[in-house]
Chain A
Amino acid sequence: MMNKLQLYEREFKLLSRALDGYVEASSLSRDLGIPYTTLSSWIEELKYKGYVQIREEIYNRARLTEEGKKYAKSGLPEFILALILKQEGPKSLEELKSSFNEKELDVAIMHGLRKRFFEYFQGKLRFLEMKHDEEETLIKEIASKGELILKDLNQAMKILRRRGLLEIDEVKVLSFKATDQIAAMIKEGKYDIIPEISKLTSEDIISKRWLQYPIKAYNLEAMPPVQYFGRTQVYMRFLEEVKKILLEMGFEEADWDYIMPELWNFDALFVPQDHPARDVQDTFRVALDPLNIEEDFAAKVKEMHESAYKSSLGWDYKWSAEIAKRLVLRTHTTPVSIRYVYINKDKEAKVFCISRNFRRDLPDRTHFIEFYQCEGIMVGKQLNFSNLLYFLREFANRLGLEKVKFKPSYFPFTEPSVEGAVYHSKLGWVEALPGGMFRPEMLRALGVESKVLAWGIGIDRLAMAYLGIDDIRDLFSKDLNYLRNARLI
């Protein structure tokens, strides 16, 4: 046994905190402002020297699931339901259906009954009393802290986990303490602090200090500090790649308004005014007074709908300018193409648009109210249907989809129409390449003699396949951790 301990300063710093019992490493890392990975390598070194004892314990880490986060914000559904019953009196299930989705209502009732917030009475739910409870407090606490680390789970946590609001995993918690002998020596002042160079400085080099003192060896086992590089959002990166392919194929990019009169979103596409897609259930309307529409174009559209052409029967009804003036959020990017032709007429062109659209869909894993479309047109007098098939095949190939097959399809604004299916290794045949030739009625309304080959791709679905995502909402992920760490290849 030596008379005096020879300690580096950093060793002393750690040991002096751990003289009277175990100290937890991650909280010490925060206290000292030393990265955890560095600190743990120092502890490892002290253990090797026999100066400290280490204890590793498994703790529970509780974090909120997506649903949990939602309820942390809105309140647990049984509280919401109880509040409604308290304020509005007893209600039947049927009456409550408008306030909740079906699954949520079931959950609210189940837990509300369990907590005796309300009861069934004559076929209705009747309010009893509402008590704030530990489940509610806990979910808020975790929401504010991000996570909770603790040895044992209490009852409320177990319930929240069963409800799918809490996810619990295990984390290792590292603690250490100086051995009794070392602790005694330090307490008695039996130590020297010896200098070392842990971080080489310019001063060390100039003064040649680096030759006089030991240089602390780097622990190759230690995890380096995490670094995040700046990067394009994963989905946007995918869209940029698609743009590149289209540029290589000679396309120019276009875009246009998101809010437009139905004239451009529907009527110009030869969609009759009583078509179900135009209902308030399917298309978002905007709370603004109608704006003026291009009168001359509207007149031609009216003609095309009302069958004033010799060569086509049209839809044979009375077309209304009022309906055509209603402002909607565009439901597809096709108006961008149509507008392009309306302005540029018979100029030969290849045009694409990758932009956002809006539909009044109920959100689920494959639908959201806002989504991207990638679509385009080719304009030229010599163009024909076989050219469209060529383009679709070529485009799919360049996207890395080797197998393509075509079958007949229907869209109100194109004839002939085609649906292209592509083969994806995981998903099998996916219908993702619709296309067609603008109908003659439309060409006439637009005032062109050219043929217009139009195509679109379900870019969201394709991106999900490429990125290995199975929920469309994750394309717009809010999770910084995912965005920072998503693989690029």
Chain B
Amino acid sequence: MPTILLDRKRINKALNKELSLEELEKLLEYIKCEIKEQNEDELLCEITTDRADCFSTEGIIRALKGVLGIEKGLVNLNFFEDDIELHVDESVKNIRPYVAMATVRGLKLDPRALESIIRFQEVLHETLGRNRRKASIGLYDLSKLDKKIFFKNMDLEKIKFIPLEKNEILDGYRILSETEKGKQYRHLVGQSSAPVLVDNNGTFLSMAPIINSQDAKVTTKTTDILIDSTGFDLNFITSIVGLMAYALSFYGGKVGLVKHFYPNSSFLLRFNNRTFELSKRYAEEILGFELLEDEFQDFLLRARYGFNVYGSKYEITVPFYRVDVLGPIDIVEDIAIIKGYENIEPRRPPLETKSRLSEKSLLGSIVREVFNGLGFQEIVNYMVTNSILQSERVGLDPKEIGLIYISNPISKEYDCMRANLFPGILEFLQYNRSNAYPQKIYELGDVLRFQGNRIITDFRLASAIIYNSASFEDMHSCIYAFFKAIGLDFNLKENELPFLLKGRRADILVKNEKIGWIGELNPNISEYFSLYQPIVAFELSLSEIIKFKFPSR
């Protein structure tokens, strides 16, 4: 979740209230924002990713004014046609094809306001901008610039300006290798060239996704700001510029629309509100409570939507900065939020259904009854495990058992999915060498294998007994008890599994189908686990047993 820093004083002043922390906390719930830390002046908050318009103090104030009914309906923004021209050169096509711009003129920025706006820019970079890859945002002082601005790809050696962090002129190469931002975002531009914004006088605005120049730096004296966003999707970067213009306009400015000249088209870039049709009945059907007409309208206005009524239908105007609203359902949620979740009466779901346990759980509980009764302790291991443990250490070939590897493991210790339970059981015994013997343990769980070009999930049961005279019949008798309890016959047939002791190893067969094995551990294997007492173990497929017991499924 994005972390944002809010200006507590500004919020109180704008709402004309001295809100206690508890009151503020409650109020912020309306915009899915939660206070994590606070001091006198600032609140460190976490906010859900949807409400990008509220990633700033400015946006939050406007939303809260609606919640409290101080200001209702659409936020009044003044647009005008600015005389700035943006010319996009063909050369950016293959590196960062789109740029969008707007201006905000007539601003009064105090130091805290400027700080707040810069933070908003950073949060947008990290979240919607996906670390500037999907969209970058820049702000410039218009008074330092010519009306004509160009976006083009330029050779690094020809790029020359004083980047924000420095106080000398650097060329493109040095900017990328010597500034922090240059090193951090180097991968976003070319090897020997980079997209730049530069005005008609040759003043550089920025190396677009990376760093701005000192020449057009925004300060508290700045009254007119140019906003740009660059990226790969014009609609998307337009919404980013819109979000920034929306926040800036809080400080008294008018939003100027900029003429864009692309190689094959030119247009005035606008920020259009969207409209959706919504009926009160639909909202009631989704939410499960009735809404009075007045109430419905009041909720819409307090959520800062506009509307027109056509009979029983409402045409809702969604402001351009509400990038999270994709359809009517999102407006319905806002209605519920403004009503307050605590004011919604929970109602019993009108469903009559039959409960049913899965076959796995059913069989699992029988296994537990049997093996608990026989004095075994259930253990649980992770499914993500270690390939050496699963193969080499128990003498099995990873290909043969269909071991599935993770391609991006966090460490070698957890690099595959278990294909058998018993290696984990042996590891457990190794870990518990200093605990009292005899030890009798079992595990129920899924294993995964890649076999016959399919990923197979097999529900397994495995168990081991270890003490100084553990032997085959100790376990044979347990299996016998288990099969008797589930009403199946089984028989044993000698096998050649390498991790078991010759003459003391067998497959478990049901109706001539092999479903598992039983045997005394080959001491060569148990020695790997530093276990020096006899071990008898078995592992079988409960999935196979389910097939026998519940053939219809």
User: Interface on A for B, CB 8 Å cutoff?
Assistant: 63, 69, 144-147, 226, 228-233, 235-236, 240, 243, 246-255, 257-259, 274, 276, 280, 284-288, 291, 309, 311-314, 316-317, 329, 348-350, 356, 358, 360, 362-363, 368-370, 378, 380, 382-393, 405-410, 415-418, 437, 439-441, 451, 453, 475-476, 478-481, 483-484
Q: In the complex, which range does the number of interface residues on chain B fall in?
A: 35 or more
Bound-state CA distance A56–B455 (Å) is 62
Residue from B29, B130, B355, B376 having most chain A Cβ neighbours under 10 A: B355
B355 and A408 within 8 A (CB): no
The stretch of B100-108, B144-152, B333-341, B484-492 in contact with A is B333-341
Q: Which 9 A-B pairs have the closest CB atoms?
A: A146-B434, A384-B288, A386-B288, A410-B48, A390-B346, A312-B327, A230-B372, A416-B333, A387-B349
* Complex partner residue of A233 from B134, B380, B455, CB under 8 angstroms: B380
* Complex partner residue of A390 from B347, B352, B375, B440, CB under 8 angstroms: B347
B355 and A478 within 8 A (CB): no
A and B contact pairs by CB, cutoff 8 A, 11 listed: A232-B378, A233-B377, A251-B353, A253-B361, A288-B450, A360-B410, A369-B414, A384-B287, A390-B347, A390-B349, A478-B432
**Is B382 in contact with chain A by the CB < 8 A criterion?**
yes
Which residues between 429 and 459 of chain B lie within 8 Å of chain A, taking CB atoms? Answer: 431-436, 439-441, 444, 446, 448, 450, 455, 457
A439 and B329 within 8 A (CB): yes
A-B contacts counted at CB < 8 A amount to: 251
A406 and B384 within 8 A (CB): no
Not counting A233-B377, A387-B350, A478-B428, a sample of 12 additional A-B residue pairs whose C-beta atoms are within 8 angstroms of each other reads A69-B431, A145-B434, A254-B358, A257-B455, A286-B404, A312-B329, A385-B287, A389-B344, A415-B333, A478-B379, A478-B431, A480-B432
> Chain A's interface: helix, strand, loop or mixed, by majority?
mixed
Q: A287 contacts which chain B residues (CB < 8 A)?
A: 404-407
Q: A360 contacts which chain B residues (CB < 8 A)?
A: 408, 410
Chain B 252-266, CB-CB to A under 8 Å as 1, else 0, gives: 000000000000000
Question: Known interface pairs A229-B372, A416-B332, A416-B333. Does A407 touch B29 (Cβ–Cβ under 8 Å)?
Answer: yes
* Complex partner residue of A312 from B326, B349, B372, B417, CB under 8 angstroms: B326
Bound-state CA distance A369–B417 (Å) is 12
B446 and A258 within 8 A (CB): yes
Bound-state CA distance A399–B18 (Å) is 40
B440 and A230 within 8 A (CB): yes
Q: A358 contacts which chain B residues (CB < 8 A)?
A: 383-384
**Is B295 in contact with chain A by the CB < 8 A criterion?**
no
Bound-state CA distance A438–B377 (Å) is 41
B408 and A255 within 8 A (CB): no
**Is B342 in contact with chain A by the CB < 8 A criterion?**
yes
Bound-state CA distance A253–B357 (Å) is 5
**Nearest residue, chain A, Cβ from B130:** A274
**Is B360 in contact with chain A by the CB < 8 A criterion?**
yes
Q: A409 contacts which chain B residues (CB < 8 A)?
A: 32, 48
* Complex partner residue of A386 from B326, B346, B440, B448, CB under 8 angstroms: B346
Bound-state CA distance A487–B134 (Å) is 53
Bound-state CA distance A408–B436 (Å) is 52
Bound-state CA distance A223–B330 (Å) is 67
* Complex partner residue of B384 from A369, A407, A418, CB under 8 angstroms: A369
Question: Known interface pairs A408-B337, A484-B377. Does A390 touch B348 (Cβ–Cβ under 8 Å)?
Answer: yes
Q: A286 contacts which chain B residues (CB < 8 A)?
A: 404-407, 417
Q: B120 contacts which chain A residues (CB < 8 A)?
A: none
A258 and B448 within 8 A (CB): yes
A258 and B457 within 8 A (CB): yes
A378 and B349 within 8 A (CB): yes
Bound-state CA distance A233–B364 (Å) is 12
Q: B236 contacts which chain A residues (CB < 8 A)?
A: 316
Q: A252 contacts which chain B residues (CB < 8 A)?
A: 353-357
Bound-state CA distance A257–B444 (Å) is 17
Q: B365 contacts which chain A residues (CB < 8 A)?
A: 240
Q: A363 contacts which chain B residues (CB < 8 A)?
A: 410
* Complex partner residue of B349 from A63, A226, A258, A383, CB under 8 angstroms: A383
A317 and B355 within 8 A (CB): no
Whole-angstrom distance from the CB of A143 to the nearest CB of chain B?
Answer: 8
**Nearest residue, chain A, Cβ from B446:** A258
Q: B450 contacts which chain A residues (CB < 8 A)?
A: 288
Bound-state CA distance A313–B325 (Å) is 8
Whole-angstrom distance from the CB of B482 to the nearest CB of chain A?
Answer: 13
Bound-state CA distance A233–B378 (Å) is 5
A380 and B350 within 8 A (CB): yes
A410 and B349 within 8 A (CB): no
Q: A439 contacts which chain B residues (CB < 8 A)?
A: 329
Q: A313 contacts which chain B residues (CB < 8 A)?
A: 274, 326-327
Q: B374 contacts which chain A residues (CB < 8 A)?
A: 230
Bound-state CA distance A247–B287 (Å) is 26
* Complex partner residue of B380 from A235, A253, A280, A390, CB under 8 angstroms: A235
**Is B49 in contact with chain A by the CB < 8 A criterion?**
yes
**Nearest residue, chain A, Cβ from B530:** A144
Bound-state CA distance A480–B345 (Å) is 48
Bound-state CA distance A380–B352 (Å) is 10
**Nearest residue, chain A, Cβ from B133:** A274
Q: A247 contacts which chain B residues (CB < 8 A)?
A: 355-357
Q: B346 contacts which chain A residues (CB < 8 A)?
A: 386-387, 389-390, 392-393
**Is B273 in contact with chain A by the CB < 8 A criterion?**
no
Q: A311 contacts which chain B residues (CB < 8 A)?
A: 327-328
Q: B292 contacts which chain A residues (CB < 8 A)?
A: none
Whole-angstrom distance from the CB of A33 to the nearest CB of chain B?
Answer: 11
Q: B130 contacts which chain A residues (CB < 8 A)?
A: 274, 276
B435 and A481 within 8 A (CB): yes
Which residues between 276 and 332 of chain B lie within 8 Å of chain A, taking CB atoms? Answer: 285-289, 326-330, 332
B336 and A285 within 8 A (CB): no
B375 and A229 within 8 A (CB): yes
Whole-angstrom distance from the CB of B278 to the nearest CB of chain A?
Answer: 10
Bound-state CA distance A45–B285 (Å) is 82
**Nearest residue, chain B, Cβ from A348:** B351
Bound-state CA distance A475–B382 (Å) is 11
**Is B119 in contact with chain A by the CB < 8 A criterion?**
no
Whole-angstrom distance from the CB of A189 to the nearest CB of chain B?
Answer: 37
Bound-state CA distance A437–B285 (Å) is 12
Q: A362 contacts which chain B residues (CB < 8 A)?
A: 410
Bound-state CA distance A235–B443 (Å) is 13
Q: A236 contacts which chain B residues (CB < 8 A)?
A: 378, 380, 444
**Is B30 in contact with chain A by the CB < 8 A criterion?**
yes
A147 and B341 within 8 A (CB): no
Question: Known interface pairs A313-B326, A390-B349, A441-B327. Does A232 touch B372 (Cβ–Cβ under 8 Å)?
Answer: yes
Question: Known interface pairs A230-B371, A287-B405. Does A406 touch B342 (Cβ–Cβ under 8 Å)?
Answer: yes
Q: B328 contacts which chain A residues (CB < 8 A)?
A: 311
Which residues between 392 and 435 of chain B lie within 8 Å of chain A, taking CB atoms? Answer: 404-410, 414, 417, 428, 431-435
Whole-angstrom distance from the CB of B365 to the nearest CB of chain A?
Answer: 7
Question: Known interface pairs A236-B378, A254-B358. Does A370 touch B408 (Cβ–Cβ under 8 Å)?
Answer: no
* Complex partner residue of B341 from A145, A407, A451, CB under 8 angstroms: A407
Q: B373 contacts which chain A residues (CB < 8 A)?
A: 230
Question: Known interface pairs A230-B374, A259-B455, A406-B341. Does A370 touch B404 (Cβ–Cβ under 8 Å)?
Answer: no
Bound-state CA distance A406–B433 (Å) is 49
B329 and A350 within 8 A (CB): no
Q: B341 contacts which chain A residues (CB < 8 A)?
A: 389, 406-408, 418
B32 and A476 within 8 A (CB): no
A387 and B347 within 8 A (CB): yes
**Nearest residue, chain B, Cβ from A74:** B413
Bound-state CA distance A425–B107 (Å) is 51
Residue from B274, B285, B365 having most chain A Cβ neighbours under 10 A: B285
A288 and B287 within 8 A (CB): no
Bound-state CA distance A40–B291 (Å) is 79
Q: A453 contacts which chain B residues (CB < 8 A)?
A: 349
A274 and B349 within 8 A (CB): no
Q: A280 contacts which chain B residues (CB < 8 A)?
A: 408
